Amino acid sequence: MENITIKVLASKLNLSATTISKALQDSHEISEPTKQRVRALAAALNYTPNTYARSLRTRKSETIAVVLPEITDHFFALVINGIETVAREKGYHVLIYLTHEDYNREKEILDYIKKGRIDGLLISVTKNTIATNHIAAMEQENIPVIFFDRVMEQMQLPMVVTNDFESCYQATQHLLTCGCKKISVCTISTNLEISKQRILGYQKAMTDNNIPLEETHVLFCDDDTQCYDQLYNTLKAKNRPDGLLAIVDKLTLPIYLACEKLNLKIPQDLQVISFSNNPTAGILNPSLTTISQPAFLIGQTAAILLLNSLDPKNNKVQQDITTIPSELIIRNSTGYKKL
């Protein structure tokens, strides 16, 4: 099959390539009859513009990128769905890039996409991201950046988050109301701003109830392969917690499995709350009390902010923080009032 280019069209119509190009872009410099001839031939020969060539000219790709840690987590999957709803309505394509919590990979991805492929970036950083040069470099290329969920607070960029501090305060308060005396919090990161806020919320609720904080009550389950063993050992110890607040969904499974192995009943022996958007939370054994994040709405909001900023009619995005509250959904893994 002959490759139909602007040159081919030009030759067949005995016009210059520039005229063809302008006609296809509906330029006022070209007469209507000429435009019609060009369009008719382009359609007949099934001409499709080369995206690279067009992007080189316009420097606009009508494409945004989403960079995030993983998608086996329902939270991120729902965020993407929210982003795509907005992007599709506005005629934008969405490229999804996964960092798999690898900071070097995140740098490589940003380095790759900043070279002209995208108009804007939505990012949730890896749990190991500390430096921000790679994100600042996007700004230098005039690619607007908006954070969602996992933000770099020190950067003066717009961010869409949930009320991490308050929701963990409320969850801890709920465990205390249910009679828990020894509440621990489990995290996969102490570096992420959201993790810090969640742990601070837990700590504030504890101190507001005159319960002294103990360092060992923050379980740091960084390594997926060791996570189960850590939880198992913690729950096997004589002085084990009677309440657990998991600040990330992936900790739910090892907690339930460790309890099963140790023959600990939830909620009688251990009351459990986890951050989760997994729809199976309600049919777990027992059903799980969750902090349910507004994942879809976070995605929608971040996308609306970004696409608005790309519209030349609008001003630059305000460098502020949009907070959309999470919801504590009480189910059977808590609520057991000890005598």
Q: Which stretch binds its own copies (CB under 8 A): 66-74, 181-189, 204-212, 240-248?
A: 66-74
Q: Which stretch binds its own copies (CB under 8 A): 31-39, 190-198, 237-245, 254-262?
A: 254-262
Closest distance to its own copies from the beta carbon of 94 (Å): 8
The strand pairing partners of 147, in sequence order, are: 123, 159
Contact 217, 241 (CB under 8 A): yes
94 makes contact with its own copies (CB under 8 A): yes
Q: Which stretch binds its own copies (CB under 8 A): 119-127, 179-187, 285-293, 300-308?
A: 285-293
Q: Which of 43, 52, 212, 313 binds its own copies (CB under 8 A)?
A: 52
Q: Which of 253, 262, 328, 329 binds its own copies (CB under 8 A)?
A: 253
Closest distance to its own copies from the beta carbon of 65 (Å): 9
3-state secondary structure 302-314: HHHHHHHHHCCCC
Q: How far is the C-alpha of 25 from the C-alpha of 35, rounded, in Å?
A: 9
Closest distance to its own copies from the beta carbon of 107 (Å): 13
Closest distance to its own copies from the beta carbon of 70 (Å): 8
Q: Around Cβ 229, how many Cβ atoms within 10 Å?
A: 13
Pick the closer one to its own copies by CB: 49 or 335: 49
Closest distance to its own copies from the beta carbon of 122 (Å): 14
Q: Which of 31, 285, 314, 318 binds its own copies (CB under 8 A)?
A: 285
Q: How far is the C-alpha of 68 from the C-alpha of 124, rounded, in Å?
A: 5
257 makes contact with its own copies (CB under 8 A): yes
318 makes contact with its own copies (CB under 8 A): no
Q: Which of 15, 41, 77, 200 binds its own copies (CB under 8 A)?
A: 77
- Residue (of 215, 210, 159) closest to 184 by Cα position: 215
Sort strands 289-292 and 327-329 into parallel, antiparallel or unpaired: antiparallel
Closest distance to its own copies from the beta carbon of 58 (Å): 10
Q: Which stretch binds its own copies (CB under 8 A): 67-75, 237-245, 308-316, 320-328?
A: 67-75
Q: Which of 84, 119, 149, 164 binds its own copies (CB under 8 A)?
A: 84
The strand pairing partners of 321, in sequence order, are: 159
Residue type present at position 336: Y
90 makes contact with its own copies (CB under 8 A): no
Q: Which stretch binds its own copies (CB under 8 A): 196-204, 221-229, 277-285, 298-306?
A: 277-285
The token pair at 26 is 């509906």
Q: Around Cβ 145, how many Cβ atoms within 10 Å?
A: 24
Q: Which of residues 30-49 bind its own copies (CB under 8 A)?
A: 48-49
Contact 97, 109 (CB under 8 A): yes
**What are the backbone angles phi and psi of residue 273, rounded to the nearest 5°?**
-125, 140
Pick the closer one to its own copies by CB: 83 or 206: 83
Sort strands 145-148 and 159-161 into parallel, antiparallel or unpaired: parallel
Contacts of residues 103-109 at CB distance under 8 Å and 24 or more positions apart, as own/partner, are 103/128, 103/129, 103/130, 106/67, 106/134, 107/134, 109/67
Residue type present at position 258: A
Q: DSSP string spanning 18-37? A: HHHHHHHTT-TTS-HHHHHH
- Residue (of 323, 336, 334) closest to 245 by Cα position: 334
Q: How far is the C-alpha of 120 from the C-alpha of 142, rounded, in Å?
A: 9
Q: Which of residues 95-114 bind its own copies (CB under 8 A)?
A: 95-98, 100, 105, 109, 111-112, 114
Where do contacts with its own copies occur on this chain (CB under 8 A)?
Answer: 1, 48-53, 55-56, 70-72, 74, 77-78, 80-81, 84, 88, 93-98, 100, 105, 109, 111-112, 114-117, 140, 252-253, 256-257, 260, 278-280, 282-287
